[in-house]
Structure 1
Amino acid sequence: MVERLELEAFLTLAEELHFGRTAERLHVTTARISQTIKKLERHIGTPLFDRSSRHVELTEAGRRLHDDLRPAYDQIEAGLQRAANAARGEREVLRVGFLGAAAGQLMVGAARLFDRRHPGWRALPRELQIVDSLRRLRAGDVDLLIVSLPHDEPDMVTGPVLFSEGRVLGVSCRHPLARRDSVSLEDLAAVKMLQVVGGFPDYWRADRTPDRTPCGRPVEPGPPFETLQEALALIDADEGAFVMGAQVSRFYARPGVVYLPFRDAPPLEWAPTWVATRTSPRIHAFNQAAQDAAARGSSGPRGQLPDAPGR
């Protein structure tokens, strides 16, 4: 008979691939997690993880077990939570993660619309940081995340574009480029490009922090950062530059930072994403509410930057 802790330990370790973080999430000791996994492996009769001093990886048997268990476990957990909520007279919560003020503004409006349409449910917007947003989505800290494209993760589903915005280059007011009215992608060769900390996929880095211009000129890497405020502080200090959405000029104005629009870069598009095995009617319903909220805030079919409430 497999115990609940064995399932939780296995599924959490399969996501984290780290015994310490798994123990923290489950509020037990690392030794308890190790013992629990060994017990489960004895019960099944085969190793589920390859372990070394440097890394933890799923075995082929572990991957198959994870793919079989994850959907069923999530469904059971959701059913138990719904029953508990109903017993307490509470509404079922959908946690919606977002990055940046514009996406947050849209999510608040979408949450209001979602709540009015579905009295038994409630949407809870939560701001995340870019450095750990995908990890937290996979870990289940949020059910849905609004991301900037490109986004192509095999285990995730990407919904329709909600809004788009032009790209700008954030530079120090002391940088020579700051005297211009606009920039080209070729001008990236004249700056040090700040680097986002974390294991972001190559396709995202190529789009947002390229190492070469379209004509092949090298782009010098700059200091790393974890949050937008860190990036703006580095730009203000003339330590580097970064490509951002035009929303920064509205929501993150700073005297020492100049935002220069690109003449030749495609717009940034924002869309919802979620883990494929956790698809639910709530997610589809919220996506519809978000699309409707975005459409109400603009005249375009996809929307531009969402207007402020009441505008």
Structure 2
Amino acid sequence: MLERHELEAFLVLAEELHFGHTAERLHVSTARVSQTIRKLERRVGVPLFNRTSRRVELSPVGRQLYEEVRPAWTRIGAALERAIDTGRGVTGTLRVAFTGAAAGQLLVGATEVFRQRQPGCDVQIREAQIGEVLPWLRDGEVEIVLANLMHAPGIIIGPVLAREARMLAVPSGHPFARRTSVSVEDLARVKVLQLPVTMPESLRADRTPRQTPGGRPIESGPSATTFQEMLTLIGAGQGVFPVGAHARRYYARPDVAYIPFSDAPPLEWGLMWRADGATARVRAFSQAAWCTVIPEASHRRTAERSLSGA
């Protein structure tokens, strides 16, 4: 088993390819680095570096070792950092993502409250497309996301921060555009655009069902990977799609009309994070977001807030 100081010396030297620079980064003497590497090479049985008077290079074995060890060492360091953050409290940088303009506004409010409460923690905000939410969470691109709630293995769903009425986005020239409301059963009369197959089945079944509550089949239309692409397909007459009421305000287009559903349940928005990523700063941000939509004096009441701006 390799010792920690041996791994550190090997990895830094593999990146610096210079004994002096490696010693500076490790805060040890050049002789100590050289001694550690020679000891490690004796244990491995072959040279890990090719040395000349002018340059240092990784040997083939050394390069293979570096490529296999570096990712694992990075993961160990990240895990240790998360443990330290949990133990010390809310520090470091929280990476947060959102989907859609309305969620972005809600996220800004939550971030302001969080920064007031936790001045020692920075927040980096990114916009995600709907199909990027789960991959970004699982790959560690971001730690927490504000989006339409979706159930998936290994993902924690926080409190519902907002609810909004559902509407059907249709081409502006469609007969439905002249109506004051539509029913879920009306979906059997149109072609419904689809979410990417990479999305959780629970979300796809909710937004793009295969049949109406009465059992009538719903025709599937093309798939779209972004919301703007979805609206463009709708404007081109290729189908319709259920959206939240906020779309009427934030995504007004001359080629798309938004018609309220008379019998569909509201859409729910909230925070999501990885089950193994519930750090102190993630929990603190969730609490700050909750306080953004619910006054301190009424935390125990149910939150029902519209993203439509009405």
Give the TM-score normalised by structure 1.
Answer: 0.71
Find out whether 1:273 has 2:272 as its counterpart: yes
Q: Provide the residue aligned with 2:50 in structure 1.
A: none
The amino acid across from 2:263 in the alignment is D
Find out whether 1:138 has 2:141 as its counterpart: no
Q: Provide the residue aligned with 2:110 in structure 1.
A: 110
Q: Provide the residue aligned with 1:22 in structure 2.
A: none
Partner deviation per Cα, 1:240-296 (whole Å, 9 max, x = no partner): 111111110111111111111111111001111111111111011111111111225
Q: Gaps (5+ residues) in structure 2?
A: 12-60
Q: Provide the residue aligned with 2:306 in structure 1.
A: 305
Q: Is the 8 A contact 2:103 2:146 kept in 1?
A: yes
Secondary structure at the aligned position of 2:160 is classed as: coil
Q: Provide the residue aligned with 1:125 in structure 2.
A: 125
The amino acid across from 2:138 in the alignment is R
The 3 A distance-change label for structure 1 pair 254 and 80 is: same
Deviates further, 194-203 or 221-230: 194-203
The 3 A distance-change label for structure 1 pair 110 and 38 is: closer
Q: In structure 1, what is the Cα distance between the partners aligned to 2:198 and 2:229?
A: 18
Alpha-carbon shift at residue 142 of structure 1 (Å): 0.8
Q: Provide the residue aligned with 1:175 in structure 2.
A: 174
Q: Provide the residue aligned with 1:75 in structure 2.
A: 79
Deviates further, 271-280 or 197-206: 197-206
Q: Is the 8 A contact 1:193 1:209 kept in 2?
A: yes
Q: Provide the residue aligned with 1:211 in structure 2.
A: 210
Q: In structure 2, what is the Cα distance between the partners aligned to 1:37 and 1:194?
A: 47
The 3 A distance-change label for structure 1 pair 38 and 290 is: closer
Find out whether 1:258 has 2:262 as its counterpart: no
Q: In structure 2, what is the Cα distance between the partners aligned to 1:36 and 1:198?
A: 38
Q: In structure 2, what is the Cα distance between the partners aligned to 1:306 and 1:117?
A: 25
Q: Is the 8 A contact 2:192 2:240 kept in 1?
A: yes
Partner deviation per Cα, 1:116-169 (whole Å, 9 max, x = no partner): 1111012222110012221011111111011313x2222111111111100110
Q: In structure 2, what is the Cα distance between the partners aligned to 1:79 and 1:307?
A: 39
Q: In structure 2, what is the Cα distance between the partners aligned to 1:73 and 1:171?
A: 50
Alpha-carbon shift at residue 204 of structure 1 (Å): 1.2
The 3 A distance-change label for structure 1 pair 37 and 217 is: farther
How many residues of Structure 1 are paired with residues of Structure 2 in the alignment? 245
The 3 A distance-change label for structure 1 pair 305 and 35 is: farther
Q: Provide the residue aligned with 2:42 in structure 1.
A: none
Q: Is the 8 A contact 1:105 1:306 kept in 2?
A: no
Q: Provide the residue aligned with 1:43 in structure 2.
A: none
Rg comparison, structure with higher value: 2
Q: In structure 2, what is the Cα distance between the partners aligned to 1:39 and 1:92?
A: 28
Secondary structure at the aligned position of 1:161 is classed as: strand
Q: Provide the residue aligned with 1:188 in structure 2.
A: 187
Q: Is the 8 A contact 1:111 1:125 kept in 2?
A: no
Q: Is the 8 A contact 1:295 1:303 kept in 2?
A: no
What's the Cα RMSD here?
A: 3.2
Q: In structure 1, what is the Cα distance between the partners aligned to 2:209 and 2:113?
A: 38
Partner deviation per Cα, 1:70-103 (whole Å, 9 max, x = no partner): 7x65332447899xxxxxxxx7211111111111
Q: In structure 2, what is the Cα distance between the partners aligned to 1:271 and 1:93?
A: 21
Q: Is the 8 A contact 1:194 1:222 kept in 2?
A: yes
Q: Is the 8 A contact 1:94 1:123 kept in 2?
A: yes
Q: In structure 2, what is the Cα distance between the partners aligned to 1:253 and 1:39?
A: 51
The amino acid across from 2:118 in the alignment is H
Over the matched positions of the two proteins, sequence identity in percent amounts to: 44
Secondary structure at the aligned position of 2:202 is classed as: helix
Q: Is the 8 A contact 2:95 2:143 kept in 1?
A: yes
Q: Is the 8 A contact 2:249 2:308 kept in 1?
A: no
Partner deviation per Cα, 1:153-201 (whole Å, 9 max, x = no partner): 2211111111110011000011111111101100111111111224112
Give the TM-score normalised by structure 2.
Answer: 0.71
Secondary structure at the aligned position of 1:160 is classed as: strand
Q: Is the 8 A contact 2:192 2:208 kept in 1?
A: yes
The 3 A distance-change label for structure 1 pair 93 and 240 is: same
Secondary structure at the aligned position of 1:97 is classed as: strand
Alpha-carbon shift at residue 301 of structure 1 (Å): 3.5
Q: Is the 8 A contact 1:272 1:287 kept in 2?
A: yes
Find out whether 1:231 has 2:230 as its counterpart: yes
Q: In structure 1, what is the Cα distance between the partners aligned to 2:188 and 2:272?
A: 33
Secondary structure at the aligned position of 2:181 is classed as: coil
Q: In structure 2, what is the Cα distance between the partners aligned to 1:189 and 1:133?
A: 29
